[in-house]
Structure 1
Amino acid sequence: MNIQEYDILNAIFTTTNATQRSLADCSGHSLGIVNRSIKKLTSDGYLTTTMQPTDRAIALYKHSVPQNAIILAAGFGMRMVPINTETPKGLLEIHGEALIERIIRQLHEANIHNIYIVVGFMKEQYEYLIDEYDVTLIVNADYASKNNLHSLNLASEYLKNSYIIPCDIWCKDNPFHTHELYSWYMVSDTQTNESSVRVNRKMELTAISKTAIGNAMIGISYLSENDSSYIQQRLSSLDNDARYDGCFWEEALYNHNRMVIPARIIPGSNAVEINTYEQLRELDEHSNHLQSDILQIAADALNGNQEDICNITVLKKGMTNRSFLFDYQGIKHIMRIPGEGTDQLINRRNEAAVYQTIQDKHICDDIEYINPENGYKLTRFLDNARVCDPLSTEDITKCMNKLRSFHDLKLKVNHRFDLFGQIDFYETLWEGKASVYRDYQKTKAEVFALKNYIDKYAADEVLTHIDAVPDNFLFCTDSSGNEDIRLIDWEYAGMQDPHVDIAMFSIYAFYTREQIDQLIDIYFNGNCPDTTRIKIYCYVAVAGLLWSNWCEYKRNLGVDFGEYSLKQYRYAKEYSRLAKKECIDRNLL
C-alpha cells in the first residue's frame, strides 16, 4: 500500500457517506489518484465494491492507534533571547496559552494521554505539568552540550506508534489523530533556504545543499511500530558518537541522503515554529512574554520605547554570557546578559569601574549602559568588524602593538586580579567535589611552585585586561577604509603584571611554544629578557590551571567547553615543567 492509498483508506474511515469528490477534498489528492487508489484498495481486499472497509481494513485501522507522544523541551532555545533568560521556550504563551499546554490539549483531543516530556534547561518550570496533566518528565542532564538527538534517545524505549513533537510549535489546527496508518515527518508547503530537505514527487524527503531551497521543516513526526525499532537503533548508535552531540534527532531518519519515512505536507499557515522574539511578536503581539524587563532596560538606556526595538537576533553564545543584537532607530546595538553562574565569577562593580577608567581612552567598544549590580551591558554594534586571526602575523602584530600601548598608559583601578587566589576560589565553587583530573593536586602543586619566581620577576602592576584573547580584539573599518582595533570584554580586568595578557592570548589561541615565543618577540620588539620570557611561561601554566578550574565550575552547571578545558589543563602541566626546566638550565631557581 502506498501513501496515497493509506490516505484514501483513512479518509474513508473518517468521512460519512464518502464519495470520490469528498475523499479528494479530505485527503488533498486529485480525483485521479482517488480513483486509482480505490481500485487498488478494492483489489487488495481492503474495500468492498461499494467502497466499504473490509475486515482486513478494519483490523489494520484498529492496529494503527497512536500509543504516546514524546515532547522535546530540554534545550536553551538560544534564539529566544531575551525571553529565554526568564522562561523556557515551551512555556511561552500564545493568546494566553502556553505552547506546551496547547500541544498537550491537542494530544488529549486525539485520545493520547501517555505523554513524555524531555526537559533540561529550567526543568523545574515544567514540574507542574506532572500534576496538571499527568505527564512524565525525563531529565536530560546534558542539555547544554548535546542537542535533541540525545533527548529523544533518552526516551527511545517509548517509541512505538509515537508522536515526536518539538515544544516550540504552535499549530492552528490539531495535527494529531486517533489513527495513523503510516509513519511521517511534517513539513509545510512554504519554501525556505533554512530547510535541509525537499519533498519529491514520491512524497519522499531528500536532503538538499545548504544553499538550496526546501520545504520548511515543522519538526512534528509520527513513527509507527514498524519503523520504531530501526529509529531506536539509529538513535543509540548516533548518540554514542561524539560527532553527533550537536545534531538534531532528524539525523536518525536519514539513509543515503533520504529520510526513511515520507512527508506529510501542511499549509504554511497551519503551523508556526517559535524560534525568535520576532516570531512570537508576529504571532501574538500582546503576549505577556513580549514585556521583557531586559528590553525595557535597553529602551530606557536609549531614551526610547520598547516597541521601537526590532530585528532581535541572538549572537553566538559566549563562554560567559549570552548576547543579542537589535535595531533601534536604524542603529544596531548589543545587549549582554550574564550567563549561568557568572554572579559567582564576575564582580560587576569592578567591571563597571574598569569601563569608567577606560571610557575616554578609545580602547574598548562604545558602552551605552552597564549595571554594576547584575552585569547587563548595552553597547553600540561595531559595523564592518572582525576578530583577530591568531595565525596571521600581521594581525597579531597589530594586536600586540595595541596591547602594549594600553599597558603603557599605566592605568590604575582599586581592585586586583589575584591569579593564585582565583585558582583557589574557583576550586571552592566545586562545592566539595574532587577535580575530574586524577592528578590535579600534583599539577596544582607544580603550578603553585612557580609563585616565587613570578614574584621575583613581576613587572609593576597596571590595569591588565586578563582576557586579552584573539576573539576580543576587533578590527573595525570605517567607510573611508581606515582601520581601528578595539579590545572588548573587560569583565576580569584588574591590577596585575601586564605580561599576563600575553600568556592569556597564547593559551586561548592554542599556541605551541614556537608560536608563544614569536608572540613574545612581537610584543617586546625582539628584546625580551630571558627572565621575562620564562616568567611568561609561568603565566601560561598558571592561566591554564585558572581557566581549567573555571571550566570545572561551569561543567558542574551543565556547561561544557570540551577541547578548550582539556587544553587549558595541558598548558598547566606542560608549562609548569617547561618553566622549571628553563630555570634550572639557567640557574635561576
Structure 2
Amino acid sequence: MNALILENLCNKGKEISQRELASRLGISLGKVNEKLRQLKNNGLIDQNYNVTKKGRQVLEANHPQRAIILAAGYGMRMVPINTEEPKGLLEVNQEPLIERLIKQLHKVGVYEIHVVVGFLKEHYEYLIDKYGVELIVNSHYDEYKNMYSLSLAKDYLFNSYILPCDVWFKENPFNRVEDQSYYLFSKQAVSNSIWRVQPRGGVRKVSAKQLGDRMVGLAYINSTDAASISQSLEYTQTNQELLHCFWETLLEQDKKFILRGRIISSDGFKEINSYEQLRDLDYSSNHLQNDAIKVIEETLRVTPKEIKNIRVLKKGMTNRSFFFEHGSDKYIMRIPGKGTDELINRHSEYEVYQTIKNTNWTEKVLYLNADNGYKLSKFIKSSHNCDANNPEQVQECMNLLRKLHNSVFKVSHRFDLYKQIDFYEELRGTTSAYRDYDEVKKRVEKLRPFIEKNAKRQVLCHIDANPDNFIFSKNQLYLIDWEYAGMQDPDIDIAMFAIYAMYDQQRVDDLIQTYYCNECDLVTKQKIYAYIAACGLLWSNWCEYKQSLGLDFGNYSIAQYRYAKEYSKKVLSYLGEPLNAQN
C-alpha cells in the first residue's frame, strides 16, 4: 500500500488530497493519514508530501518487471471461430485482444512479455517482431490445462503479471507500482468460484451452497510469492494430475487463498469465451464474418444476433461440429475436421444425401457443400444414441440396416474396402507403429478371394454404421452421418457395427443372428468375420494417420488392430489356410 501511495504522490499533476487518495485506493481517510505519517517517518516523502530519492528507490523496487500471457488453449467454446484463429487474436474494435493487453502493459513500463502458445501457434509469430515478446511453445495444449503452460514459464514468475489472452479490459488494469501480490476478482456471484473477497482484501472460501466472486484470471506475483508458486509448479512434474487443473489451483494452500484479492467492476472487463460474447462486445468484429455463420445466415435467413446458445458438440473422430438455436428450433453445423479432405470424397457424400433426402429415417439436411463439406442439419430433439449393450435397441438398428439394404437406393460410387486400406496406409506415410503389421496385412489380403467369392449383391451401405450414428427419438429411429456411404456387400455394415461397438466374439455372433433373424449360414458368418478383420485393419490405418495429425483415439485404435489380427486368424483357420503369412 505504501508504494501505491508513493506512486500517486509521484505522478500527481496537481496537489492531491488525502480524501482523493482514499477514494483511489479504496481505503479509509484515517488509513491514508496513518500511511502518510509512516512515509514521512521513514524518509520516503518530505513535509510537503514530495517523494524523496529514497522513496523513488522504493518505487523502483516495486515496479512490475514482466508478464506471462497464457495463450495456448483450443478455445473450443469459440466455435466456429476457433477453426480459423486462436482466441488471443480475435479482434475487438479492430484490435486483437492480445495486442490490447500488450499495449496496456507497455503503458506502465512492462516490456518483458512471455506468451505461452500452442494451438495455431504460428499465428502469434508476428508478435516477436512487432512487440519484442518471447514465445514459449506448449506442445501439450490439447492434453493439459493452463497449469502446464504456467509451468513452462515458471522462471519468469518474479514480479510478474499472469493473465489469459482472452480478456478485454475497458481501462488499463496494470500499474507502474505493485507492492503486493494479488488476484483479480469481480463482485459477480458465480457458481464456479469458491472464493469471496473480504472488505480488507482477504479471500475466504464460501460454503458449498454459496456463490463465489468471479475469478478474472489476472494476477500479480511478487518475488516472495513467486518462490512458493514456482516450487508448487515443480511439484506438478511428479504429480501430473495437477496438470489437468487450472493454475489457480495452486493458490489454495491449507484451505486458504494465499494471495490478497483485488476487485474490478463487472463492467470493467469482458471475457471472450464464445462467439456470442464477442458479438455482444463488438458486433462489427471482422471475426464474426465466418464462413459457417454465413451459411447459417443465408440458409435460415437470419441475422447473427438471432443465432443463440452456440456450443461445441463432443469433438468427433472426423469433424468438429457445433450446436445452436434459432427461435424454438435447434440445429447442428458441421465443420470438417483436420485431415478430413484427404479422407472423404465430399462429392460422393453429396450424391448419397441427394439420393436419400426424401426418407424419414435420416437427418434433415438443410445445406451441404460438396466442395468443403460444411453441413447444416436440423437437430433431432429428445434423442439419444443407440446403446450397443441394449439388445432391444440393437435389434431396431439391425432392422433399419435391413431396410436400407433392401431399398432401391443406388449411387454411382462404390466403397472399395481393400483400396481404402491401401489409401489410408499411404496417407499414414510411415512405417506402422505395430511391429507385426506386415504379417497381419498379408493375412487380411489372403481373405480377399473368399470375401469376393461370397459377396452378395451391391447395395447402398452406410459403411460408418457406428452405434452412435443410430439416433432414437420418441417413436422414430434415425441413421445419420453418411460420409463414407457407397455401394457394397450389405454384410460389411454388420461388421462395422460390431467393431465400432468393440464386441467380443459371442456378441458378434449374437449381432449376426439378430440381423439374419437366426438364419445366418456358416459361410456368411465367416465372411462377416473376414470383413471384421479387413475393416479393423482399415480403421487401424485411419487411426494411425489421424494420430500423425495430433489426434488420439485411446483404446479404439488398438481394438481395431486386434480385430484385424485375431479375426484374420479365425477365418484362415476355417478355410484351412496356413496362418504363416509367408506361405
Question: Into which bin does the TM-score normalised by the smaller protein fall?
Answer: 0.7 to 0.9
C-alpha spacing 1:334/1:517, structure 2 compared with 1 (3 Å): same
Checking the alignment, whether the CA contact within 8 Å between 2:71 and 2:164 is kept in structure 1 is: yes
Q: 2:506 aligned with 1:514, yes or no?
A: yes
Structure-to-structure mapping, 1:86-485, within 5 angstroms: 86-193=84-191, 195-199=192-196, 201=198, 203-204=202-203, 206=205, 213-238=211-236, 243=241, 246-255=244-253, 258-409=256-407, 411-430=409-428, 432-477=429-474, 483-485=475-477
Q: 2:66 aligned with 1:74, yes or no?
A: no
What is the DSSP-based 3-state SS (H/G/I as helix, E as strand, rest coil) of the residue aligned with 1:268? coil
Q: 2:12 aligned with 1:13, yes or no?
A: no
Deviation at 1:58, TM superposition (A): 7.2
Letter aligned with residue 99 of structure 2: E
What is the DSSP-based 3-state SS (H/G/I as helix, E as strand, rest coil) of the residue aligned with 1:107? helix
Which structure would you say has the larger Rg? Answer: 2
Checking the alignment, whether the CA contact within 8 Å between 2:136 and 2:152 is kept in structure 1 is: yes
CA distance in 2, matches of 1:258, 1:434: 53
Letter aligned with residue 550 of structure 2: G
CA distance in 2, matches of 1:220, 1:235: 18
C-alpha spacing 1:437/1:10, structure 2 compared with 1 (3 Å): farther
CA distance in 2, matches of 1:46, 1:562: 65
- Of the three residues 518, 523, 529, the one matched with 2:515 is 523
C-alpha spacing 1:301/1:34, structure 2 compared with 1 (3 Å): same
Give a deviation string over 1:99-135, Cα, whole Å, max 9, x none: 0100110111121111122222222222211111111
User: What's the RMSD between the two structures over aligned residues?
Assistant: 3.3
Deviation at 1:85, TM superposition (A): 2.6
Larger deviation, residues 464-473 vs 102-111:
464-473
CA distance in 1, matches of 2:231, 2:499: 40
Q: 2:478 aligned with 1:486, yes or no?
A: yes
C-alpha spacing 1:57/1:548, structure 2 compared with 1 (3 Å): farther
Give a deviation string over 1:507-531, Cα, whole Å, max 9, x none: 3333333333333332222333333
Letter aligned with residue 261 of structure 2: A
C-alpha spacing 1:516/1:53, structure 2 compared with 1 (3 Å): farther
CA distance in 1, matches of 2:351, 2:406: 19
Letter aligned with residue 84 of structure 2: E
CA distance in 1, matches of 2:502, 2:353: 28
Letter aligned with residue 14 of structure 1: E
Larger deviation, residues 65-74 vs 333-342:
65-74
Larger deviation, residues 52-61 vs 402-411:
52-61
CA distance in 2, matches of 1:580, 1:36: 91
Checking the alignment, whether the CA contact within 8 Å between 2:572 and 2:578 is kept in structure 1 is: no
CA distance in 1, matches of 2:573, 2:239: 40
Checking the alignment, whether the CA contact within 8 Å between 2:45 and 2:55 is kept in structure 1 is: no
C-alpha spacing 1:203/1:459, structure 2 compared with 1 (3 Å): farther
Larger deviation, residues 65-74 vs 90-99:
65-74
C-alpha spacing 1:133/1:469, structure 2 compared with 1 (3 Å): same
C-alpha spacing 1:315/1:30, structure 2 compared with 1 (3 Å): farther
C-alpha spacing 1:326/1:441, structure 2 compared with 1 (3 Å): same
- Of the three residues 524, 537, 541, the one matched with 2:533 is 541
Checking the alignment, whether the CA contact within 8 Å between 1:68 and 1:162 is kept in structure 2 is: yes
C-alpha spacing 1:181/1:247, structure 2 compared with 1 (3 Å): same
Letter aligned with residue 13 of structure 1: L
What is the DSSP-based 3-state SS (H/G/I as helix, E as strand, rest coil) of the residue aligned with 2:414? coil
What is the DSSP-based 3-state SS (H/G/I as helix, E as strand, rest coil) of the residue aligned with 1:538? helix
Structure 2 residue aligned with 1:4: none
C-alpha spacing 1:234/1:451, structure 2 compared with 1 (3 Å): farther
Deviation at 1:332, TM superposition (A): 2.1
CA distance in 1, matches of 2:315, 2:97: 25
Give a deviation string over 1:288-342, Cα, whole Å, max 9, x none: 2222232222222224444543333322222211222233344222211111111
CA distance in 2, matches of 1:203, 1:515: 60
What is the DSSP-based 3-state SS (H/G/I as helix, E as strand, rest coil) of the residue aligned with 1:363? coil
C-alpha spacing 1:36/1:244, structure 2 compared with 1 (3 Å): same
Give a deviation string over 1:483-534, Cα, whole Å, max 9, x none: 2111111111112222222232233333333333333332222333333333
CA distance in 2, matches of 1:325, 1:156: 38
CA distance in 2, matches of 1:47, 1:583: 95
TM-score (norm 1): 0.87
C-alpha spacing 1:270/1:476, structure 2 compared with 1 (3 Å): same
Structure 2 residue aligned with 1:569: 561
Letter aligned with residue 475 of structure 1: F
Deviation at 1:352, TM superposition (A): 0.5
What is the DSSP-based 3-state SS (H/G/I as helix, E as strand, rest coil) of the residue aligned with 1:269? coil
Deviation at 1:192, TM superposition (A): 2.1
CA distance in 2, matches of 1:433, 1:278: 42
CA distance in 2, matches of 1:531, 1:572: 19
Checking the alignment, whether the CA contact within 8 Å between 1:144 and 1:560 is kept in structure 2 is: no
Checking the alignment, whether the CA contact within 8 Å between 2:6 and 2:55 is kept in structure 1 is: no
Checking the alignment, whether the CA contact within 8 Å between 1:388 and 1:471 is kept in structure 2 is: yes
Deviation at 1:272, TM superposition (A): 0.9
Checking the alignment, whether the CA contact within 8 Å between 2:194 and 2:207 is kept in structure 1 is: yes
What is the DSSP-based 3-state SS (H/G/I as helix, E as strand, rest coil) of the residue aligned with 2:267? helix
Checking the alignment, whether the CA contact within 8 Å between 2:4 and 2:179 is kept in structure 1 is: no
Checking the alignment, whether the CA contact within 8 Å between 2:44 and 2:51 is kept in structure 1 is: yes
Deviation at 1:237, TM superposition (A): 4.3
Letter aligned with residue 576 of structure 1: S
Checking the alignment, whether the CA contact within 8 Å between 1:207 and 1:258 is kept in structure 2 is: no
Letter aligned with residue 447 of structure 1: V
Structure 2 residue aligned with 1:5: none
C-alpha spacing 1:291/1:541, structure 2 compared with 1 (3 Å): same
Letter aligned with residue 4 of structure 2: A
Structure 1 residue aligned with 2:547: 555
CA distance in 2, matches of 1:497, 1:243: 47
C-alpha spacing 1:282/1:529, structure 2 compared with 1 (3 Å): same
Structure 1 residue aligned with 2:12: none
Checking the alignment, whether the CA contact within 8 Å between 1:502 and 1:536 is kept in structure 2 is: yes
CA distance in 2, matches of 1:345, 1:203: 56
Deviation at 1:160, TM superposition (A): 2.4
Checking the alignment, whether the CA contact within 8 Å between 1:198 and 1:208 is kept in structure 2 is: no
CA distance in 2, matches of 1:257, 1:568: 46
Give a deviation string over 1:185-230, Cα, whole Å, max 9, x none: 322111123x243225473364876x86332221122233333344
Checking the alignment, whether the CA contact within 8 Å between 2:276 and 2:308 is kept in structure 1 is: yes
How many residues were matched structurally?
572
What is the DSSP-based 3-state SS (H/G/I as helix, E as strand, rest coil) of the residue aligned with 1:429? helix
CA distance in 2, matches of 1:130, 1:256: 40
CA distance in 1, matches of 2:390, 2:34: 66
CA distance in 1, matches of 2:116, 2:328: 40
